[in-house]
Structure formats: structure tokens, C-alpha cells
């Protein structure tokens, strides 16, 4: 069987034109179901190149296959949501959720597209206790007949944000040993980081207020001039 036909067989979820234009042209090395690799004289790498437009599509497809297989193995009615390789499991009780953990691990390990390893990062808890997903902390609240989901940024992400600001802060101060050029360059880097971080977590409740609070905790002992410079960054937030 030719390398082109093998790739069509392995990547049957992709249109033939996509395989030929994007996969073959990237020099992707695939393995047949029997484990034999295509000739390295023609294709010189394993997997899709990092940054390829195919990466997200193939990732979603493979994770979807793993989830479907896990549901078959579990034979129960849990609900799963996923983004890339981040999977959250919901059930009526703790046993429902825990019973799907091993089928997910097994389905990933036995996937025909590779032996993937899933790692559990959180223990089972009630949604009112909150849980972390994609860097957010989601917590369900019920007040009488009304209920809502509180969306906050995970504590670890907040700590990383403040650590980065603290790292850049010495170069932003109005002191004799910091030149104007160095200070302006550092402030531009801070601005880019703050705006990028706020955009990444824009789904959080009052992200602008959260950024202000986190910055104030880092800057509370800084001079008025330094604090004023950072306030100009806050005004850039939409």
C-alpha cells in the first residue's frame, strides 16, 4: 500500500484533499495498524508539526473517540464536557463520577491513535464546592428559586500573574538606577502581559476589577508615580 493510501486509511476523518495538501506536505510519519512505519525516505517525522492547523482538529476528534469509548465501557449516564484534552465529568453522585475515571484512562491508553495517558487532577466534589476547569474556578450557587454559576480565575493563575508583575516591577520604578528607556520597555511588557492575561480570562466575573485588585496587592508599597503608571494600564482594559 502506498504512503498516501496508508495516510488516507489512518486519517479517514479528514477529506482526501486535506490529507494530501496538509499532511503529506508536512512530512508526517504515520504507523499502520500493524505497527509498521512508512518509509522515512518519504516522510521524516512522527505526528503533526506543532502549530499545524490540523492539530486542533485531530485533537478534538481523538478526544471525542476516547470519550465515546469510555461511555461504552462505563454503561452509565454521566455527562462529560471537554476542551482539547481537558475533560470534566458530571454525575448524580460521587459514585457516578468516580465510575467513569477508569474507563476514560483505559480508553485513552488503548486508543488506536496512540497510547495516551490521562491524569486525574482533582478529586470528586459537589459543584457547590467549586472546581477548576481551563484555569477558571467554577462554583454553583443556589438561592431560593434562583441559581447561578460564579466564574472566577483559579488561585494558581492569580499567583502566576502576581509573580510575573513582581518580576517586572523593579524595572518599572522611577529610581536613579532605572533609565527611562528601560522603564518604558518594561512598562510595555507589563501592559502586554496584563492585557493578554485579562483577555485570556475574560469570561471571569468582573475581570477588570480582579486585575485591579491583584495589581494593588503587588503595588501597595510602591511610590505614587509607579502606581499611577500602572493605573494607565488599567484604563486600557475594556
In this structure, what are the phi and psi dihedrals at residue 16, rounded to the nearest 5 degrees? -55, -40
Q: Are 153 and 163 in contact (CB under 8 A)?
A: no
Residue 3 confidence class, pLDDT cut points 50, 70, 90: low
Sheet of 131-133: strand order equals 131-133, 136-143, 146-153
Kindly report the pTM of this predicted structure. 0.72
- Helices within the chain (DSSP H only): 3-10, 16-18, 54-74, 94-98, 101-109, 155-168, 180-200, 207-219, 224-234
Asked if pLDDT for residue 33 goes beyond 50, the answer is no
- Determine the Cα–Cα distance for residues 76 and 91; give it in Å rounded to an integer: 10
- Tell me the mean pLDDT in the region 30-58: 55
The answer, yes or no, to whether residue 24 has pLDDT greater than 80, is no
- Parse the chain into domains and list their residue ranges: 3-52, 56-124, 151-234
Going by pLDDT thresholds of 50, 70 and 90, the confidence category of residue 191 is very high
pLDDT of residue 97: 85
**Mapping DSSP to helix (H, G, I), strand (E, B) and coil, where does residue 205 land?**
coil
Amino acid at each position: 500500500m502506498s504512503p498516501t493510501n496508508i495516510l488516507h486509511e489512518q486519517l479517514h476523518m479528514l477529506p482526501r484533499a486535506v490529507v494530501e495538501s496538509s499532511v503529506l506536505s508536512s512530512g508526517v510519519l504515520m504507523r499502520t495498524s500493524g505497527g509498521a512505519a512508512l518509509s522515512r525516505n518519504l516522510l521524516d517525522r512522527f505526528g503533526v508539526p506543532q502549530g499545524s492547523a490540523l492539530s486542533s482538529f485531530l485533537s478534538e476528534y481523538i478526544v471525542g473517540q476516547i470519550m465515546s469509548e469510555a461511555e461504552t465501557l462505563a454503561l452509565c449516564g454521566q455527562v462529560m464536557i471537554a476542551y482539547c484534552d481537558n475533560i470534566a465529568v458530571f454525575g448524580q453522585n460521587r459514585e457516578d463520577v468516580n465510575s467513569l475515571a477508569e474507563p476514560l484512562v483505559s480508553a485513552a491508553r488503548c486508543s488506536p491513535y496512540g497510547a495516551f495517558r490521562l491524569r486525574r487532577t482533582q478529586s470528586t466534589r459537589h459543584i457547590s464546592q467549586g472546581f477548576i476547569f481551563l484555569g477558571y474556578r467554577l462554583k454553583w450557587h443556589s438561592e431560593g428559586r434562583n441559581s447561578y454559576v460564579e466564574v472566577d480565575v483559579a488561585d494558581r493563575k492569580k499567583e502566576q500573574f502576581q509573580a510575573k508583575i513582581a518580576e517586572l516591577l523593579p524595572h518599572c520604578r522611577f529610581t536613579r538606577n532605572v533609565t527611562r528607556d528601560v522603564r518604558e520597555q518594561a512598562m510595555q511588557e507589563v501592559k502586554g502581559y496584563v492585557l493578554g492575561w485579562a483577555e485570556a480570562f475574560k469570561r471571569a466575573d468582573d475581570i477588570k476589577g480582579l486585575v485591579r485588585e491583584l495589581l494593588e496587592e503587588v503595588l501597595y508599597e510602591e511610590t505614587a508615580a509607579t502606581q499611577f503608571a500602572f493605573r494607565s494600564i488599567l484604563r486600557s482594559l475594556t
